[in-house]
């Protein structure tokens, strides 16, 4: 690579890369949301081949390793959910991932790749197994199904081919050109390879991941691996395959032409073929919902029993899909659900979420659907990618693709097994995105809620963030324009002035103008009536606060991201206490954060406070993170507060601050400047400053419920 400039797409899309030829530390385990039941190495004459087993029950399902430009993390969109129904085996091919990278052409040949895979199956104990071969791995699974027919129950070839003889002069020329590209311009080869692999629109995340997978190997290794796949023919093996076979191939595949997949279909007796119109090379990455469903349906890991309820015997049910990132979403959703029950008394409500939201709902006597035990936790993901009071919300959302695919598949199972009259999704990005990617799956009315529209870059000079934000926004816009009926209603939890008057990106519409056209404004939805909390003396008595003490409450929300802020506030407390001896400060760590601090007289830590807004409504000062819900609750109850928005968090730093400014309550402090001394001075000043907030509307939840009820009634057409 010496002297070679990195491709522009690396800088614009892939971003900073680790040292070439090594697996990045964060990729040591291929999947974020599951741990292997068992992992190990198969030793093939001194070359160690890594494998993992995912899932504890069900039929065996094994993915054969493909061309070593990728490793098994490529399957993150499908393995976490499939492992809930199968015992899934994934393995890294020699030359990449967690497997060895032997040196020399003699260590790379299709025969060795085949023995590696068979050895992994033996080591895992997979006696009867369904096989999946993506791209070059189709040759591996076709050979194995022919040579060990009693072992293979099903075969799936995706984007595959059955021979690499290069008899056609054009193919031979392409092979020579590709080999030269690997040797002479490795970065350029990686760029071109991944661009052709993921040619579907808005494939920037797939391209970025693909570059990182390839970067874990090197040009010499990939050159040997590439030549090891060449000159082989398993067409006679394909003719001898007797197990049920499914061929999946995109008709826009730029890596392996669709005719190669059709040839496998014609070779394997009785096989089925699924053509993905407009699809590229790797459906497991770009179309994980379709791919996972096709695999599960074909192999037949369905439930042994099921129940069908006659239409008129079904109770009226709503499913609320509530974002678990913090508690604000679920608190407002519960307020909306309670208003909806007033309008529809016979409506049963189930909840689809995880902790901390699930725990809150259970304390409120609500039913969290049992299937939620199989969901991945979004809050854990956000905590994992956060720094010291620093969280790039955009890149946190962007890197949540594994969790979104897994959780949507669990949601889809629920939709297929039980009846709901309506689904209400509060920032349910997984449901909204995958419904638009798979519109045929929508089976009931869907109402989408959000309190912000548009991902915005935090640094105007960061060309990569600006480009990727615009790409994500364009994808969302195109989804809604093409399938406007997928959202039976879209509710913005706020007012028009709360929407930034900025463009989504170059050559894209303005955010406010687009939101006006595609959303209904319901005003802010509080989880309480401010009038019921106006008697602060009564609240203080109820919660054990004396009238002669000044109460300060510090809260950082429902995730563990705010630990650094709590510690800094605790460091400022002694100075505040000296200036105000009657001060009592409560640090609320939240349900996911354990904080240990030096003891101070008047300072206490509470791990969790249910319905914290009641305590905030009677405090003398609140010190909070920059989340919308807590800040708006403080505005509604007219309490003095300071907020500390997370750095690089576009929602807190742009969307929330604009909304608070509309209410005369933008009291943000930059965490980087908040030394203990400055924090103490600002906090004491805020405690004694007059409050002049604009009143917060108290009917937002009722307005949202009324709009949802109109969708349930489905009689707007009659008006």
Q: Which of 168-177, 196-205, 217-226, 703-712 has the lowest mean pLDDT?
A: 168-177
pLDDT 10s digits, 357-366:
999 999 999 9
Position 579 scores a pLDDT of 94
Position 171 scores a pLDDT of 82
Position 170 scores a pLDDT of 82
320 alpha carbon, distance to own chain's centre: 18
pLDDT 10s digits, 541-573:
999 999 899 999 999 875 667 788 999 999 999
Mean pLDDT of the chain: 94
Determine how many CB atoms are found less than 10 A away from the CB of residue 410.
Answer: 21
Q: What is the average pLDDT across 233-262?
A: 97
416 alpha carbon, distance to own chain's centre: 22
DSSP 400-467: THHHHHHHHHHHHHHHHHS--SEEEEES-HHHHHHHHHSGGG--S-EEEEES------S-TT-HHHHH
pLDDT 10s digits, 509-540:
999 999 999 999 999 999 999 999 999 999 99
pLDDT 10s digits, 216-227:
999 999 999 999
Q: What is the average pLDDT across 290-308?
A: 88
* Residues 27, 276, 30: CA angle, nearest 5 degrees: 10
Residue 503 predicted with pLDDT over 60: yes
pLDDT 10s digits, 665-681:
999 999 999 999 999 99
Both tokens of 281, joined, read: 């090379």
Nearest C-alpha neighbor of 423 from the set 474, 356, 374, 352:
352
Position 510 scores a pLDDT of 97
Break the chain down into helix, strand, coil percent, rounded to 5: 45, 15, 40
Residue 584 predicted with pLDDT over 70: yes
pLDDT 10s digits, 142-192:
999 999 999 999 999 999 999 999 777 888 888 899 999 999 999 999 999
Question: What confidence category does residue 19 fall into, taking pLDDT thresholds of 50, 70 and 90?
Answer: confident
Position 24 scores a pLDDT of 81
Cα separation, 29 vs 32, in Å, equals 7
Position 592 scores a pLDDT of 59
Both tokens of 321, joined, read: 């899909």
Question: What confidence category does residue 595 fall into, taking pLDDT thresholds of 50, 70 and 90?
Answer: low
Question: What confidence category does residue 3 fall into, taking pLDDT thresholds of 50, 70 and 90?
Answer: low
Q: What is the average pLDDT across 296-303?
A: 85
Position 230 scores a pLDDT of 95
Position 558 scores a pLDDT of 59
3-state secondary structure 577-629: HHHCCCEEEEEECCCCCCCCCCCCCCEEEECCCCCCHHHHCCCCEEEEECCHH
Question: What confidence category does residue 591 fall into, taking pLDDT thresholds of 50, 70 and 90?
Answer: low
Q: What is the average pLDDT across 460-487?
A: 96
Position 383 scores a pLDDT of 83
Position 241 scores a pLDDT of 98
Q: What is the average pLDDT across 701-718?
A: 94
Both tokens of 144, joined, read: 């194995």
Q: Which of 156-160, 444-448, 598-602 has the lowest mean pLDDT?
A: 598-602
- Between 302 and 495, name the one with better pLDDT: 495
Residue 64's SS3 state is strand
Q: What is the average pLDDT across 463-476?
A: 97
**Distance (Å) of CA 473 to CA 212, 435, 477:** 24, 16, 6
Question: What confidence category does residue 386 fall into, taking pLDDT thresholds of 50, 70 and 90?
Answer: confident
CB 241 within 8 A of CB 266: no
Position 169 scores a pLDDT of 83
90 alpha carbon, distance to own chain's centre: 21
């Amino acid at each position: 690579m010496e002297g070679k400039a990195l491709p522009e797409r690396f800088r614009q899309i892939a971003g900073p890369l680790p040292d070439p030829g090594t697996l990045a530390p964060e990729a040591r385990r291929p999947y974020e949301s599951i741990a292997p039941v068992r992992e190990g190495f198969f030793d093939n004459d001194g070359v160690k081949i890594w494998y993992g087993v995912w899932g504890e029950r069900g039929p065996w399902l094994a993915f054969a390793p493909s061309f070593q430009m990728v490793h098994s993390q490529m399957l993150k969109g499908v393995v976490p959910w499939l492992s809930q129904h199968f015992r899934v085996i994934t393995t890294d091919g020699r030359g990449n991932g967690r497997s060895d990278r032997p040196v020399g052409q003699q260590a790379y040949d299709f025969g060795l790749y085949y023995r590696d895979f068979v050895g992994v199956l033996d080591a895992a104990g997979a006696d009867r197994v369904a096989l999946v071969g993506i791209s070059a791995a189709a040759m591996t699974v076709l050979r194995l199904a022919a040579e060990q027919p009693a072992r293979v129950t099903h075969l799936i070839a995706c984007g595959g081919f059955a021979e690499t003889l290069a008899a056609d002069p054009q193919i031979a020329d392409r092979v020579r050109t590709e080999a030269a590209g690997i040797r002479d311009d490795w970065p350029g080869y990686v760029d071109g390879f991944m661009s052709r692999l993921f040619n579907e629109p808005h494939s920037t995340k797939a391209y970025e991941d693909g570059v990182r997978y390839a970067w874990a190997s090197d040009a010499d290794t990939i050159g040997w691996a590439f030549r090891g796949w060449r000159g082989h023919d398993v067409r006679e093996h394909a003719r001898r395959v007797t197990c049920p076979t499914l061929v999946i191939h995109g008709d826009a595949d730029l890596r392996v032409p669709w005719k190669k997949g059709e040839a496998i279909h014609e070779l394997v007796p009785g096989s089925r073929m699924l053509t993905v119109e407009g699809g590229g090379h790797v459906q497991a990455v770009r179309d994980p919902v379709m791919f996972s469903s096709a695999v599960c349906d074909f192999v037949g890991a369905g439930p042994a029993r099921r129940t069908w309820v006659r239409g008129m015997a079904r109770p009226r049910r709503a499913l609320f899909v509530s974002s678990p990132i913090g508690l604000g979403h679920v608190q407002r959703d519960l307020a909306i659900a309670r208003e909806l029950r007033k309008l529809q008394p016979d409506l049963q409500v189930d909840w689809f979420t995880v902790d901390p939201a699930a725990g809150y709902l259970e304390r409120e006597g609500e039913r969290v659907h049992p299937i939620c035990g199989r969901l991945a936790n979004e809050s854990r993901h956000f905590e994992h990618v956060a720094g010291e009071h620093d969280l790039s919300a955009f890149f946190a959302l962007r890197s949540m693709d594994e969790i979104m695919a897994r959780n949507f598949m669990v949601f889809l199972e629920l939709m297929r097994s039980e009846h709901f009259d309506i689904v209400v999704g509060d920032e349910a990005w997984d449901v909204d995105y995958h419904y638009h990617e798979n519109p045929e799956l929508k089976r009931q009315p869907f109402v989408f809620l959000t309190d912000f529209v548009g991902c915005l870059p935090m640094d105007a000079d960061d060309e990569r963030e600006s480009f990727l934000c615009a790409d994500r926004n364009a994808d969302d816009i195109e989804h809604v324009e093409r399938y406007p009926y997928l959202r039976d209603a879209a509710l913005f939890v706020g007012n028009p002035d709360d929407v930034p008057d900025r463009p989504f990106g170059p050559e894209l519409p303005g955010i406010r103008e687009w939101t006006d056209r595609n959303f209904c404004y319901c005003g802010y939805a509080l989880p309480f009536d401010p009038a019921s909390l106006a008697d602060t003396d009564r609240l203080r008595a109820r919660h054990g606060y004396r009238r002669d003490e000044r109460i300060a409450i510090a809260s950082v929300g429902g995730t563990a991201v705010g630990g650094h802020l709590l510690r800094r506030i605790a460091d400022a407390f002694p100075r505040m206490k000296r200036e105000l001896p009657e001060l009592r400060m409560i640090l609320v760590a939240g349900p996911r954060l354990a904080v240990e601090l030096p003891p101070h007289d008047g300072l206490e830590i509470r791990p969790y406070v249910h319905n914290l807004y009641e305590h905030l409504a009677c405090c003398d000062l609140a010190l909070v993170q920059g989340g919308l819900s807590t800040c708006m609750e403080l505005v509604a109850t007219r309490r003095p507060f300071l907020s500390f928005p997370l750095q690089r968090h576009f929602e807190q730093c742009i969307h929330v601050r604009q909304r608070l400014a509309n209410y005369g309550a933008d009291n943000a402090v930059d965490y980087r400047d908040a030394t203990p001394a400055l924090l103490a001075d600002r906090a004491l000043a805020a405690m004694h400053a007059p409050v002049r907030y604009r009143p917060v509307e108290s009917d937002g939840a009722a307005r949202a419920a009324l709009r949802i009820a109109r969708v349930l009634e489905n009689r707007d057409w009659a008006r």
